[in-house]
Chain A
Amino acid sequence: MFAKSLTWVESRLHLEPAMERAMDHPVPRYVTMLHCFGGLTFFTFLLQVSTGIVMAFFYVPTPDHARASVAYFQEEVAFGSFVRNLHRWGASAMVVLVVLHMLRVLVHGAYRKPREMNWVVGMVLLMMVLVFGFTGYLLPWDQKAYWATNVGVNIAAVAPFVGGFIANFLRGGPSLGALTLTRFYALHVFVLPIIVAVALALHFAMIRKQGIARPL
């Protein structure tokens, strides 16, 4: 269907070798279904990014309008409920999949030399997924969101010496309110995606360089 256009682009950019390197990469025989969890986690990440961007067309991170704006696109906008639920279930799926991925790497001993650095980057990614979940949970600004965040921040406050400061940092002050919502929003849609994108690039570059570990 697009053969002519493809030829046109190809004759100018010569992408074929790069595509072949990416798509026809040989994979060792010992790769099994257990090795799919990392890729599936990446898929859920892409799902979260795309559904999240669309919801950002409607969501307003203020105490006055957050709840109403979520209710509005959930109930009044075409596919609003579908997209929000994809994001909501995708978030849970992402946590499950990233933990399964981590367990598989652990059980296979794939974290050992020479892949220690990739394990550390993976741990950062795992933490970021959890922070994604924590910050996203507040955004609907309903009772569950408010009190779950209250609990989460109070858990952080228990940390010795710096706990009080961490809690205040998360809340944007001594009490949970408008600033908490905006900073959780900023973390959720700007800071975390950038951190995760950079860490993912490192994660993928290292696995490409080092290859998939032989299981024990």
Chain B
Amino acid sequence: MRRRVASQMQFPGVETPARRALPIPTLGEPVTRRGFLQRVLGWVTAAILATIGVPAAVMAVSPALRKSKSEWSPVARLGEPGPGEADLSAVGEPILADFKIVRGDAYIAPRLEQVPVYVINRGEGKFTIYDVRCSHLGCPISWDTKKSQFVCPCHSGVFDMEGKVVSGPPPRPLDRYEAKVEDGILYAGAMSKGGGGA
């Protein structure tokens, strides 16, 4: 088909430049009906997949983001320990003690759990509470009075009074619990990984 060109007014004595056909500007390939529908179908499919996939993925992954809750649990009454409580009056000597926490595990009903710890009385109302689990693979450590060191029976991990690794495979110092004294009672709080790591 011949393209119709709008007639151009001519004036006598005036030179009019000849019109040149301008190329029609396009944005890449012209949009066909088929291509348009394909694209719409693609985006609708993607939206449906996201609506189902995102909640599903978040649900599956979210337990990974759970944080352990911690409250203050009484360890022992200082000075006059109650029945079953450790006597923490000796200063500068790790003493095996324990406290009870209510541990809920997802859908399993919360229950009382006993947490064994080593408590060191630093004097002047200051206490350090170490978790008894070795920072290597979690075996319970014990205090060797003769060597003045914590020793792990499993792989010979050795820690000093400050919880630092003396020898053996443990990758970091002993884990410890926050400690506070209130009304003459020592409380254990949140646990932090030894060496400050998460």
Contacts and interface: CB of A to CB of B under 8 A. Distances in A.
A77 B59 contact: yes
Interface stretch (A50-58, A106-114, A167-175): A50-58
B62 A77 contact: yes
B60 A57 contact: yes
A117 to B, nearest CB: 31
A47 B107 contact: no
Nearest to A75: B107
Interface stretch (B50-58, B80-88, B116-124, B126-134): B50-58
A79 B58 contact: yes
Contacts of B53: 50
Contacts of A54: 56-57, 59-60
B58 A60 contact: no
Contacts of A57: 59-60, 63
B59 A69 contact: no
Interface in B19-73: 52-53, 55-60, 62-63
Nearest to B56: A54
16 contacts: A50-B52, A51-B56, A57-B59, A58-B106, A58-B107, A68-B108, A71-B107, A72-B106, A72-B107, A73-B59, A78-B62, A79-B56, A79-B62, A80-B59, A83-B55, A86-B55
Q: Tell me if A's interface is mostly helix, strand, loop or mixed.
A: helix
For chain B, the bracket of interface size reads 10 to 19
A69 B107 contact: yes
Given A60-B107, A77-B62, A80-B59, 6 more contacts: A50-B53, A54-B59, A69-B106, A69-B107, A78-B59, A82-B55
Interface in A58-105: 58, 60, 65, 68-69, 71-73, 76-80, 82-83, 86
A68 B59 CA distance: 17
Interface in B90-126: 106-109
A79 B53 CA distance: 11
Nearest to A67: B107
A71 B109 CA distance: 12
Contacts of A65: 107-108
Contacts of B55: 79, 82-83, 86
Interface string A2-21: 00000000000000000000
B58 A51 contact: no
Nearest to B109: A68
B163 to A, nearest CB: 35
B108 A86 contact: no
B114 to A, nearest CB: 23
Contacts of B63: 57, 77
A57 B62 CA distance: 11
Contacts of B59: 54, 57, 73, 77-80, 82-83
Contact of A68 (B52, B62, B107): B107
Nearest to A70: B107
7 smallest CB-CB distances across A and B, nearest first, come from A72-B107, A79-B55, A68-B107, A78-B62, A69-B107, A79-B59, A54-B56
Given A77-B62, A77-B63, A78-B62, A50 B56 contact: yes
Contacts of B57: 54
A78 B108 contact: no
Nearest to A80: B59
A72 B63 CA distance: 12
A77 to B, nearest CB: 6
